[in-house]
Amino acid sequence: MEKVGRVLRSQKERKDCFYDVLPLFPDYYDPNVEDVRRRKWKAFKRIRQELIAKEKYYDYNLLRQIVYQIANYYEENGELPEKYTECVRPRFKSGTFPFDIDDGRA
C-alpha cells in the first residue's frame, strides 16, 4: 500500500501540470514549423514563460515532459487530449491501475 501511495502522489503533480499546460498549448504550439524538435522546444519555452508569469512553478524536466507528451498526442491524433489518462502510457483500458501481484499478465 505504501508503494501505491507513493506512485499516486507522484502522479498528482504531473496531473496538475498537465491541466495547467493544456489550455496554453494551442496558443503556443505552431504546427507550421518544419522541424518537429524545434516545434516542441519553442512551445515548451513559451509555455514555461507563461506559467512563470502566472507564478506557477514546476520542475523544468517535468514541465518539458508534459509539453512533449501533449505535443506527441496532438501529432498522432490531430486533437488535444481531454483527460490526463489519454496521454499516459501504457494505456489503461479498465480505468484501474494494476498493483496486484497477479496483474493479469501471468
pTM > 0.85: yes or no: no
Higher pLDDT, 39 or 97: 39
pLDDT digits (tens, 9 = 90+) for 39-62: 999 999 999 999 999 898 988 898
Instruction: Give me the pLDDT at residue 44, please.
Output: 92
Higher pLDDT, 79 or 98: 79
How high does pLDDT run on average in the chain? 82
93 vs 14 pLDDT, higher one = 14
DSSP character string of the chain: -HHHHHHHHHHHHHHHHHHHHTTTHHHH--TT-S-HHHHHHHHHHHHHHHHHHTT----HHHHHHHHHHHHHHHHHHSS--SSGGGT-SSPPSSS----SSS-S--
